[in-house]
Amino acid sequence: MGVDGMFDYFRQHRILLAPMAGVSDEAFRALCREQGADLAFTEMVSAKGLSYANEKTRHLLALAPGEDQVAVQLFGHEPDTMAAQAAWIEQEMGESLAYLDVNMGCPARKIVSKGDGSALMKEPELAASIVRAVASAVEHPVTVKFRRGWALGDETAPAFARRMEDAGACAVAVHGRFAEQLYRGSADWDVVARVKEAVDVPVIGNGDVRSGADAVALTARTGCDAVMIARGAEGNPWVFAQAKAALAGVPKPPAPDARERIAMARRHARLLARREGKNIVRMRKHAMWYLAGLPGAAAARAKINACVSVEDFDRVFDELLAFLGGHEQEG
């Protein structure tokens, strides 16, 4: 699929779930796809981990229930390793792979300290050589996700995007914060528009999309070809249904009530158990996100942080439902 094919692809896949370490696993992807995400990304996959035949890393590539295709995001800083593992992923996944993305946006210290993620924005020559190597090693499209720039106030994204395009990237995704900002402050959507002007490949806008109205505003303001939602989907897979309706210009679906939020959290826990087994401690953060702002949720925090199994979470959810029933009677 060339660049023209990618423009067509994003006309059909306008709303994407971002790659999020520890979040966008099979369980969460299944719920987001069900709610209207056109495509989801795996958690970011370590090229080095794959090269060591790390089963935990390979596990990240499994499709979610009901998922026909998934995009895979690879991170690393060694062109040969990245190319070899991209080729392995392509061979392993076949038609279930939508495309490969190279992570040049993650600002986490443990990633950038090794020269991976957004640290590559400081090394545009190396970044371009990685993209060239990966694009030469696979037949699937290769995209790159990066930030506004590395240093606070030093916007390099438009020039960086051009270099990635020249190196063979078929599309780019831009997050509107500098790496040094981490997730502080607000995403600057105007940089997405400047990248859109700078390149001739599709541009995906990302950063602070938390509602259908945000998806419409980002698209209108930047002309981006697709919208990528990350933290706005945490505890809120319904954001995809809202974004889909808003972009289509149809009435937005009603927001989930407290009972629907608890029911979704319960389903999420079961999907996670199907993948992880009895120990689903990673559900704790998801449960907190689903229940944020609900009556009784603050008091349930300590109990959630002690949950390990589906049964543990069910007990907390049952208590919250009972509390809600009493709360409504009092009201």
266-305 tens-digit pLDDT? 999 999 999 888 999 999 999 999 999 998 888 888 899 9
Q: Is the pLDDT of residue 327 over 80?
A: no
Contact 210, 178 (CB under 8 A): no
- 223 vs 202: CA distance, rounded Å: 10
* pLDDT per position as a tens digit, 135-189: 999 999 999 999 999 999 999 999 999 999 999 999 999 999 999 999 999 999 9
- 88 vs 58: CA distance, rounded Å: 11
* pLDDT per position as a tens digit, 10-43: 999 999 999 999 999 999 999 999 999 999 999 9
pLDDT at 3: 80
**32, 106, 170, 307: which is the annotated catalytic residue?**
106
pLDDT at 328: 53
Supply the pTM of this predicted model. 0.94
- Domain edges within the chain: 3-248, 258-330
CATH tag for 3-248 (out of 3.20.20.70, 3.50.50.60, 3.40.30.10, 3.40.109.10): 3.20.20.70
- 209 vs 218: CA distance, rounded Å: 8
Q: Is 106 part of the annotated catalytic residue set?
A: yes
* Residue in the structure block whose two tokens are 């999309």: 209
Three-state DSSP class for 148? strand
How would you classify residue 205: left for phi > 0, otherwise alpha for psi between -120 and 50, otherwise beta? beta
Q: What single letter denotes the amino acid at residue 9? A: Y
